[in-house]
Structure 1
Amino acid sequence: MIRFDNVSVTYGDAAAPAISGVDLTVPEGELVLLVGPSGVGKSTLLGAVSGLVPHFTGGTLRGRVTVGGRDTRTHKPRELADLVGTVGQDPLAHFVTDTVEDELAYGMESLGLAPEVMRRRVEDTLDLLGLAELRDRPIATLSGGQQQRVAIGSVLTPHPRVLVLDEPTSALDPAAAEEVLAVLQRLVHDLGTTVLMAEHRLERVVQYADQVVLLPGPGVAPVVGEPAEVMAASPVYPPVVGLGRLAGWDPLPLSVRDARRRAPGIRERLAGLSPTRTGPEEGDRGADRASVPDGSSGTDRSSATDRPSGRRTFMPLRGASGGRERGSAQAELPEHLAVTTRLGVRRGRAEALRGVGITVGAGETVALMGRNGAGKSTLLSAFVGMVEPASGSVLVGGLTPHRTSPRELVRQVGLVPQEPRDLLYADTVAAECAAADADAGAEPGSCRALVGELLPGVRDATHPRDLSEGQRLALALAVVLTGRPPLLLLDEPTRGLDYAAKARLVVVLQGLARKGHGIVLATHDVELAAELAHRVVILADGEIVADGPTADVVVSSPAFAPQVAKILAPQPWLTVSEVREALR
């Protein structure tokens, strides 16, 4: 169905091709998973299938890509629309209408399908993806995960023979991700649809793949094979594979069920042992294993505003000198960095939060979890004054956020939103870093050092728009981390990050927590929560339904338990690193 013959793609005057020497065949009716570290060309390879590369992105494509016998060099994306459905990493860039139902119908209207056919397919897709209650909602009012499901639904309704998906579950909660993957399985098995998918959260998808294509690095030919064979040598792999490697299992398990069948031996070795977990009140906050730059506790990147489109963004402020004396941040950190009391927030007629009471202490890392639309991003917005409480109160560093000027508030709190482009507006990585240093009052090179940790190998002259979604996120994280705000808020911070980049982020955030900074993560990444969070707070329909130590909360919730916890239950292990440390 899809064939690559010695394909290379080079953008502009880049020193090296984004992908090189790709020979690949994807048979009809298979689900093929594309894996590899961030920035190795996965999105480029997917774009070559849909014709977006090179017709939309520019650059030079050498070799030949055919889909259903059509050459993508001679067929533009609109000439492939009846054959190929594509969902990119950014669903907002995909939408062309205002409401959910209109968006689901748009692709079929473009193909001239009969109204009765369109109506039936829209209803089927609403049911398949759990969108029926959202059919009349404006897309701008949906959460990131809900928008992701609408984007997937809009390419399903025309019934394409090929689906190209770039990080399709990255913004979805675990239950919604399972629903989407179940739909894809049904399309592959029952209708013979061909699915080519890139995904970093391999713990969700690798067990469903018929083949895995590994892109080891830029310019390196892909490795194609059975999932277990490729995972045995892959530099990126899910926790279930990491545990299998540690235990010496052969063949490697790909699912929790397979691993549990193999686990009695490792459970016996772990019997009587307990994981070592350091809480926020323990450990040495003066330790600085992460190279986080010293400097101001404020960053002038992020005053809150609303654009006319209704999207919640953080607009940068340049030149506001809000820094404190170097080295004084720890002494000034209060015990409680943020407190909400019976907080209620309304968005139009909807009650987004109600009765929320939460505290974030110095040195504490809190993971906000819950299904899409539960109120996680709204709570972060309340902490930075982007929404005004309808009832109750919010205090951050003793200030009321929505009544505090942005220049004063950014000394206390920094937010990395779901859309990293909202924080990036310079022409190069070097210019972004220089501006971040100046805004934060940090030493020149501080931000660039962080970028080097989170994003090794990125050149100073690279334009942020030429970075992958995960690379842009890492750059935005470095920009905000340069200011070292006492309270750091991150909305889906691992979206688009591979496992190595996620591990580097964890080291940096752990270093900040040891220094007394509070961190709040709104995330669907259960593995990140298990690795990093001291506490987990689960929201449902705007209310807190669980708040406690990570191990207690996630293990008792099948939806939010990490893979290792499921495999080794009832023993209290959460991560491969805990198991490795115990077995030494």
Structure 2
Amino acid sequence: MIRFEHVSVQYEGTERPTLCGVDLTIPEGELVLLVGPSGVGKSTLLGAVSGLVPHFTGGTLSGRVTVDGRDTRTHKPRELADLVGTVGQDPLSHFVTDTVEDELAYGMESLGLAPDVMRRRVEETLDLLGLAGLRDRPIATLSGGQQQRVAIGSVLTPHPKVLVLDEPTSALDPAAAEEVLAVLQRLVHDLGTTVLMAEHRLERVVQYADQVVLLPSPGAAPVMGAPADIMAVSPVHPPVVALGRLAGWEPLPLSVRDARRRAAGLRERLAQAHPPSPAPACATVMAPLPTAPARRGALARLLGRGAQTTTAAFEPVTDATARVERLGVRRGRVEALRRVTLTVAAGETVALMGRNGAGKSTLLAALVGMVEPTTGSVLVGDRTPHRTQPREMVRRVGLVPQEPRDLLYADTVATECAAADADAGAAAGSCRALVCELLPGVPDDTHPRDLSEGQRLALALAVVLTARPPLLLLDEPTRGLDYAAKARLVGVLRGLAADGHAIVLATHDVELAAELAHRVVILADGETVADGETRQVVVSSPAFAPQTAKILAPQEWLTVTQVRGALGATS
């Protein structure tokens, strides 16, 4: 169905090709998963299938890509629209209408399908993706995950033979991700649709793949094979594979079910050990805005250049960093939050979880002052966010939104970093040092728009962290990040928490919450339904439990890191 013949792609101003010598054949009616670290060219390879590369993105493509016999060099994306459906990392860039139902119908209108056919397919897609209740909603009012489902639905309605998906579950809650993957499975098995998908959250998708294509490094030749064979050598792999490698299981399991069948011996080895109970590094102290010398010292420690972190620089106070009391927020006809109460202390990391549209992003917006409460109150330190000047709030609260491009406006990474240093009053080079920690190997003259989604997120995070705000808010911080980048992010955030910063992250990434959060708060329909220590909340929730917890239940291990530490201690 899809054939790459000696394909290379190089963009103007780059020293080496993004793709080099790619020879692949993607069979018809298979789900093929594309994996690899951030920045290795996965999005470029997907774009070459749809014709976006090079017709839309620019660059030089050599070799030949054919889809069902059509050459993408001579067929522009609009001439492939009836054959290839594409959803990129940013669903907002795909939308051309205002409401959900209109967006689902637009692609079919462009192809001239009959009205009765269009109506039937719209209804089918609304049901398939759980969008029936949103059919009349303006797209701009939807959560990021809801928009992702609409974007996927808009390419399903024309019934293409090939689906090209870039991070299709990155913004979805676990239940919604399972629904989307079930739909893709049905399309592959029942209709013979060919699906080529790039995804970093391999714990969600690898067990569904017929084959896996690994791009090990930029410009390296891809490796294609059975999922278990590729996972055995892949630098990026899900926790179930990491646990299998640690335990020496052969062949490697790809699903929780397969791993549980082999885990009896591992449970016996862990029976006498006890999982660590995470406690906030500075749970009894509060972090006022540090003086300039304290900021520089903390930054040095954050980057591993100083001594062990200490809380001596912070004065104990009685108030919480953030306090939300019976908060209600109404947006038009939608009651986004109802009677939400939340307290976040210094040194504490809190994960907000819940299905798409539960109110997580709205709560973050209220904490930073972008949303005015309808009822209740919000305090950050002694300030009411929506009544405080933004210039003052940014020194108290830093927000990294779902769309990192909202924070990036300069032409190069170096200029962006210099502006962040100036805005924060930080020493020159502070932001760039953070970028090197989170995003190694990116040249100073790179334009932010030329970065991958995960790389842009890391840059935006570095820009916000440069000011070292006492309260840090992150909205889907691992979207587009591979496992190595996620591990670096966890290290940075742990350093900030150890320095007394309070962190609130809204996330669907259950593995991140298990690795990092002291507490988990679950929202549903704008209300708090759970608030407690991470282990207590996630282990009891099938939807939000990490893979390690599911495999080793009833023992309460959350991460492979914990298991590795316990095995090392007991060996």
TM-score, normalised relative to structure 2: 0.94
Letter in 2 for 1:80: L
Instruction: Determine if the alignment matches structure 1 residue 560 to structure 2 residue 544.
Output: yes
Question: Is this contact kept in 2: 1:211–1:224, CA < 8 A?
Answer: yes
**Using the alignment, how far apart are the partners of 2:63 and 2:336 within structure 1?**
51
Question: Is this contact kept in 2: 1:293–1:442, CA < 8 A?
Answer: no
Alignment of 1:242-253 (within 5 A): 242-253=242-253
**Using the alignment, how far apart are the partners of 1:565 and 1:166 within structure 2?**
28
**Using the alignment, how far apart are the partners of 2:118 and 2:551 within structure 1?**
44
Of residues 496, 507, 512 in structure 2, which corresponds to 1:512?
Answer: 496
Which residue is equivalent to 1:232? 232
**Using the alignment, how far apart are the partners of 1:57 and 1:184 within structure 2?**
27
Question: Is this contact kept in 1: 2:3–2:26, CA < 8 A?
Answer: yes
Label 1:444 to 1:333 Cα distance change in 2 as closer, same or farther (>3 A): farther
Question: Is this contact kept in 2: 1:146–1:372, CA < 8 A?
Answer: yes
Shift of 1:518: 0.2
Q: How many aligned residue pairs are there?
A: 551
**Using the alignment, how far apart are the partners of 1:135 and 1:440 within structure 2?**
43
Which residue is equivalent to 1:132? 132
Instruction: Determine if the alignment matches structure 1 residue 430 to structure 2 residue 414.
Output: yes
Letter in 2 for 1:14: T
Label 1:514 to 1:6 Cα distance change in 2 as closer, same or farther (>3 A): same
Letter in 1 for 2:249: W
**Using the alignment, how far apart are the partners of 1:171 and 1:439 within structure 2?**
30
Question: Is this contact kept in 2: 1:121–1:157, CA < 8 A?
Answer: yes
Shift of 1:285: 9.5
Label 1:294 to 1:501 Cα distance change in 2 as closer, same or farther (>3 A): farther
Shift of 1:38: 0.2
Which residue is equivalent to 2:513? 529
Instruction: Determine if the alignment matches structure 1 residue 418 to structure 2 residue 418.
Output: no
Alignment of 1:46-61 (within 5 A): 46-61=46-61
1:273 alignment partner, SS class: coil
Letter in 1 for 2:105: A
Letter in 1 for 2:520: V
**Using the alignment, how far apart are the partners of 2:115 and 2:80 within structure 1?**
22
Instruction: Determine if the alignment matches structure 1 residue 463 to structure 2 residue 447.
Output: yes
Question: Is this contact kept in 2: 1:285–1:513, CA < 8 A?
Answer: no
Alignment of 1:366-405 (within 5 A): 366-405=350-389
**Using the alignment, how far apart are the partners of 2:190 and 2:15 within structure 1?**
45
Which residue is equivalent to 2:302? none
**Using the alignment, how far apart are the partners of 1:136 and 1:77 within structure 2?**
29
Shift of 1:13: 2.1
**Using the alignment, how far apart are the partners of 2:192 and 2:284 within structure 1?**
56
Shift of 1:335: 4.8
Which residue is equivalent to 1:289? none
Question: Is this contact kept in 2: 1:365–1:518, CA < 8 A?
Answer: yes
**Using the alignment, how far apart are the partners of 1:556 and 1:440 within structure 2?**
42
- Structure 2, unmatched stretches of 5+, are 287-291, 298-310
Which residue is equivalent to 1:17? 17
Label 1:508 to 1:110 Cα distance change in 2 as closer, same or farther (>3 A): same
Shift of 1:398: 1.0
Label 1:554 to 1:78 Cα distance change in 2 as closer, same or farther (>3 A): same
**Using the alignment, how far apart are the partners of 2:277 and 2:463 within structure 1?**
29
Letter in 2 for 1:489: L
1:336 alignment partner, SS class: coil
Which residue is equivalent to 2:273? 273
Alignment of 1:74-473 (within 5 A): 74-281=74-281, 295=295, 330-331=314-315, 335-473=319-457
Label 1:9 to 1:293 Cα distance change in 2 as closer, same or farther (>3 A): farther
Question: Is this contact kept in 1: 2:256–2:551, CA < 8 A?
Answer: yes
Shift of 1:441: 1.0
1:277-319 per-position Cα deviation (integer Å, ceiling 9, x unaligned): 3301569999xxxxx996389xxxxxxxxxxxxxxxxxxxxxx
**Using the alignment, how far apart are the partners of 2:329 and 2:118 within structure 1?**
37
Question: Is this contact kept in 2: 1:296–1:440, CA < 8 A?
Answer: no
Which residue is equivalent to 1:67? 67
Label 1:20 to 1:334 Cα distance change in 2 as closer, same or farther (>3 A): farther
Which residue is equivalent to 2:300? none
Question: Is this contact kept in 1: 2:282–2:346, CA < 8 A?
Answer: no
**Using the alignment, how far apart are the partners of 2:118 and 2:293 within structure 1?**
56
Shift of 1:410: 1.2
Shift of 1:333: 7.5
Question: Is this contact kept in 2: 1:85–1:155, CA < 8 A?
Answer: yes
2:85 alignment partner, SS class: strand
**Using the alignment, how far apart are the partners of 1:281 and 1:538 within structure 2?**
22
Letter in 1 for 2:227: P
**Using the alignment, how far apart are the partners of 2:136 and 2:317 within structure 1?**
46
Which residue is equivalent to 1:323? none
Which residue is equivalent to 1:312? none
Label 1:447 to 1:172 Cα distance change in 2 as closer, same or farther (>3 A): same
**Using the alignment, how far apart are the partners of 1:583 and 1:30 within structure 2?**
39
Label 1:332 to 1:15 Cα distance change in 2 as closer, same or farther (>3 A): farther
1:432 alignment partner, SS class: helix
Question: Is this contact kept in 2: 1:37–1:216, CA < 8 A?
Answer: yes
Letter in 2 for 1:579: V
Question: Is this contact kept in 1: 2:2–2:68, CA < 8 A?
Answer: yes
Letter in 1 for 2:125: T
Letter in 1 for 2:407: L
Shift of 1:272: 1.6
**Using the alignment, how far apart are the partners of 2:267 and 2:144 within structure 1?**
39
Aligned residues with identical type, % of pairs: 82
Alignment of 1:485-504 (within 5 A): 485-504=469-488
Alignment of 1:466-481 (within 5 A): 466-481=450-465
Question: Is this contact kept in 1: 2:439–2:459, CA < 8 A?
Answer: yes
**Using the alignment, how far apart are the partners of 1:60 and 1:293 within structure 2?**
49
- Structure 1, unmatched stretches of 5+, are 287-291, 298-326
TM-score, normalised relative to structure 1: 0.92
Instruction: Determine if the alignment matches structure 1 residue 34 to structure 2 residue 47.
Output: no
Answer with 272-281 or 557-566: which moved more. Answer: 272-281
**Using the alignment, how far apart are the partners of 1:296 and 1:579 within structure 2?**
35
Question: Is this contact kept in 2: 1:10–1:61, CA < 8 A?
Answer: yes
**Using the alignment, how far apart are the partners of 1:555 and 1:85 within structure 2?**
38
Letter in 1 for 2:217: G
Label 1:294 to 1:97 Cα distance change in 2 as closer, same or farther (>3 A): farther
Answer with 25-34 or 440-449: which moved more. Answer: 440-449
Shift of 1:329: 7.5
Label 1:392 to 1:435 Cα distance change in 2 as closer, same or farther (>3 A): same
Question: Is this contact kept in 1: 2:283–2:347, CA < 8 A?
Answer: no
1:223-269 per-position Cα deviation (integer Å, ceiling 9, x unaligned): 11000000000000000000000000010000000000000010000
**Using the alignment, how far apart are the partners of 1:329 and 1:416 within structure 2?**
26
1:295 alignment partner, SS class: helix
Shift of 1:92: 0.2
1:119 alignment partner, SS class: helix
Which residue is equivalent to 1:317? none
Question: Is this contact kept in 1: 2:282–2:497, CA < 8 A?
Answer: no
Question: Is this contact kept in 2: 1:295–1:443, CA < 8 A?
Answer: no
Q: Tell me how large the CA RMSD over aligned residues is.
A: 1.8
Letter in 1 for 2:322: A
Which 4+ residue blocks in structure 1 deviate beyond 2 angstroms? 281-286, 292-297, 327-335
Letter in 2 for 1:130: G
**Using the alignment, how far apart are the partners of 1:221 and 1:333 within structure 2?**
57
**Using the alignment, how far apart are the partners of 2:317 and 2:393 within structure 1?**
14
Shift of 1:330: 3.5
Shift of 1:51: 0.1
